């Protein structure tokens, strides 16, 4: 019986490249670097196809597929049918959770954050600095329909973030200068701080009052008020904040909300064995 040349050829699912059996030797470190890059791409999207991942990473489809299959075997990624969409897997969640367990600040901050959300009616957030950016670790969401949302793992620039500026205000000047030199002062809205001297002035005001204000500097219509959490050496190591729409988090309410945020951050400092720096 002669096979119909126009008939579809069985065997290779849509999620596999033509050359998926290619076993070309790779440098182990380079392969690991590429695989971790794929995890980064997947973590920032709702899911990607094999072709999209190859395009985004600049790697060959066959290379990406081998990396994905390896990661899948460890539960780090998952593939969803129909559509052959790749997603972050439960294994990655477990690894990420280990980071949160490394420090007791997340656990000890939960109760003060919940109380802060109830007292202000706005979403409470906890974040730290990671690679010159703010990394959000935890959140207690308000029940309001319009609210701020920073899921754990979200990162953002420090100079337009309440938590970022709360940390920068208590960092040594050379550390602040280094972050600004590496990351710059990107403009996101008409109220974004884009000049060194403006940032210095804002950080000085933050130290004076004990809390920072992100006045629609990252997103128009959203405000954030934050205060730092200190370790046993009086160093700023985390930030606590409340975020919400500007029509609810008004500047006229900033002093009242700021005092509540400052108190909650101090509670976390005390609960984790930290001490505020000497004036």
- Kindly report, residue by residue over 145-198, the tens digit of the pLDDT: 776 767 778 889 999 999 999 999 999 999 999 999 999 999 999 999 999 999
Per-residue confidence (pLDDT) for residue 103, from 0 to 100: 60
Cα dihedral sign, 104-109-110-111: positive
- The answer to whether the beta carbons of residues 135 and 172 sit under 8 Å apart is no
Three-state secondary-structure class, residue 85 = strand
Helices (H), the chain: 28-43, 50-57, 61-73, 90-101, 105-120, 162-170, 173-183, 196-209, 254-271
Cα dihedral sign, 152-155-160-163: positive
Bridge partners, 91 (sequence order): none
Domains of the chain: 14-79 (1.10.10), 101-271 (3.30.450.40)
Cis peptide bond N-terminal to 49, omega within 30? no
CB atoms within 10 A of CB 8: 6
Q: What does the pLDDT profile of the chain (279 residues) look like in tens digits?
A: 444 544 444 444 455 555 545 444 444 578 888 888 899 888 878 889 999 999 999 999 999 999 999 999 999 999 987 778 999 888 887 777 666 665 688 889 999 999 999 999 999 999 999 999 999 999 998 877 776 767 778 889 999 999 999 999 999 999 999 999 999 999 999 999 999 999 999 999 999 999 999 999 999 999 999 999 999 899 999 999 999 999 999 999 999 999 999 999 999 999 988 999 876
pTM of the model: 0.69
Q: Which two tokens stand for residue 202?
A: 């804002």
- The answer to whether the beta carbons of residues 57 and 34 sit under 8 Å apart is yes
What order do you get walking across the sheet with 236-245 strand by strand? 155-157, 133-140, 123-130, 236-245, 222-230, 212-215
**Measured distance CA(240)–CA(269) in Å, rounded:** 10
């Amino acid at each position: 019986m002669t096979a119909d040349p126009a008939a579809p050829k069985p065997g290779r699912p849509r999620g596999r490249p033509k050359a998926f059996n290619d076993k070309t030797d790779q440098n182990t470190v380079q392969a690991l670097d590429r695989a971790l890059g794929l995890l980064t791409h997947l973590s920032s999207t709702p899911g990607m196809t094999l072709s999209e991942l190859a395009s985004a990473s600049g790697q060959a489809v066959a290379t990406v597929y081998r990396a994905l299959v390896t990661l899948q075997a460890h539960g780090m990624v998952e593939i969803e049918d129909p559509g052959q969409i790749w997603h972050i897997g439960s294994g990655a969640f477990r690894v990420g959770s280990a980071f949160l367990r490394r420090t007791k600040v997340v656990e000890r901050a939960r109760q003060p954050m919940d109380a802060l959300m109830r007292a202000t009616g706005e979403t409470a957030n906890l974040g730290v600095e990671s690679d010159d950016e703010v990394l959000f670790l935890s959140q207690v969401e308000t029940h309001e329909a319009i609210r701020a949302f920073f899921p754990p793992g979200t990162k953002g620039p420090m100079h337009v973030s309440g938590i970022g500026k709360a940390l920068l205000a208590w960092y040594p000047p050379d550390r602040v200068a280094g972050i600004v030199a590496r990351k710059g002062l990107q403009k996101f809205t008409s109220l974004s701080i884009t000049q060194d001297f403006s940032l210095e002035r804002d950080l000085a005001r933050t130290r004076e009052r004990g809390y920072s204000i992100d006045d629609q500097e990252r997103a128009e219509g959203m405000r954030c008020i934050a205060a730092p959490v200190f370790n046993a050496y009086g160093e700023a190591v985390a930030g606590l904040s409340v975020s919400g729409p500007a029509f609810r988090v008004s500047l006229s309410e900033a002093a009242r909300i700021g005092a509540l945020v400052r108190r909650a951050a101090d509670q976390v400092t005390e609960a984790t064995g930290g001490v505020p720096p000497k004036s």
